Amino acid sequence: MKKRRLGKSGLEVSAIGMGCMGFSHGYGAVPSEGESIRLMRKAYDEYGCTLFDTAEVYATYANEELVGKALKPIRDNVILTTKFMPVFLPGQEIPEGKLSRKGLRNALESSLKRLQTEYIDLYYEHRVPEDSDPAEVAFWMGELIQEGKIRAWGQSEPTAEQIRIAHAVTPLAAVQNEYSLMQRRPEKEVLATCQELGIGFEAYSPMGGGFLSGKYDKDTKFTGDDVRRVITRYRRENMEANQPLLALLWAYAAEKRATPAQLALAWLLHKKDFIVPIPGMRKDERLAENFGAADVALLPEELAEIDKALGKIAIHGDRKDSDIVKLGTVQSVILE
């Protein structure tokens, strides 16, 4: 597996990481605990994946516990990232508030126990509330770095301004935002800011929740706590309206003798050399497919052709926190 560095932090990771949320919730039926653990270890043993991402909010602590069990035998050989949500989760209530020095420390200590580790390689603020002070959080994160409890820190879904404010206090190792052929919002300001400041970028939902794999259509039914029940890009009419994007993917994937999923990941890898996509994968064939994307080469002119074609395609629907919280299984700072 090819390697990439997350900004100036010194953290070296596999070019493609593993998003672990889906092992516990969010995308329909989940594998058994044993199967999930097997797949995470296989990602490392057979494909060289060294970046594993989780969060305290995923299945309300359960995903961290699962990831901790899976990675315990290889803990010192991988980069472990987790995230604290700046709203209270069950059992976290304190007068100072969650977004306080004490609230942050309490959340971190609990994550350390669940993950069975003495330190977190990269600790994210899961969302950055508009009415919060990024500099204050950055200062607290700096204290945790000095104490050795975390090696580096980052923000998830910040604005360019929030990145600059925080980075000036305690340099960010990475930003984790949604980024894919379907969601190109980071291209407006955030990616340029990361490049200027030497900050890495983790792309979550790099395949649009699976849409870019080409494995779903307008007749697909999503049930239970599957977030695609409430994500508007998965409405029947939007699934149909977004077919031109899939057609584009299929065309270029065929030229590269790759799958649409591999082309979608390869596109991200070629956009910037500091981007690391973290797709979810819960089957052996998905591991082979996704990690294989690191070997799909795109020439600069091919990337330019794809981007030009993308500029002519309208994307219907979106993925918003305010929609996802309607499931009642995820708490978040609601961002539009």
Q: Which residues are catalytic?
A: 58
Q: What is the DSSP letter of 13?
A: E
- CA-based radius of gyration for the chain: 19
Distance between CA atoms of residues 203 and 27, nearest Å? 18
- Contact between 310 and 248 under an 8 Å Cβ cutoff? The reply is yes
Place of tokens 């977190």: 120
Q: Are strands 3-5 and 12-14 parallel, antiparallel or unpaired?
A: antiparallel
Report angle CA 152, 123, 170 to the nearest 5 degrees: 45
What lies within 8 Å, CB to CB, of 131 at 6+ separation is none
Length of the chain: 336
Q: What CA–CA distances, in Å, run from 228 to 27, 141, 183, 249, 316? A: 7, 33, 15, 21, 14
- Contact between 17 and 277 under an 8 Å Cβ cutoff? The reply is yes
Neighbours of 128 (CB within 10 A): 23
Spatial CA neighbour of 199 closest among 133, 135, 159, 155: 155
Both tokens assigned to 156: 């998830």
Distance between CA atoms of residues 245 and 241, nearest Å? 9
Task: Indicate the helix (H) or strand (E) that contains 270.
Answer: helix 260-271
- Identity of the amino acid at 289: E
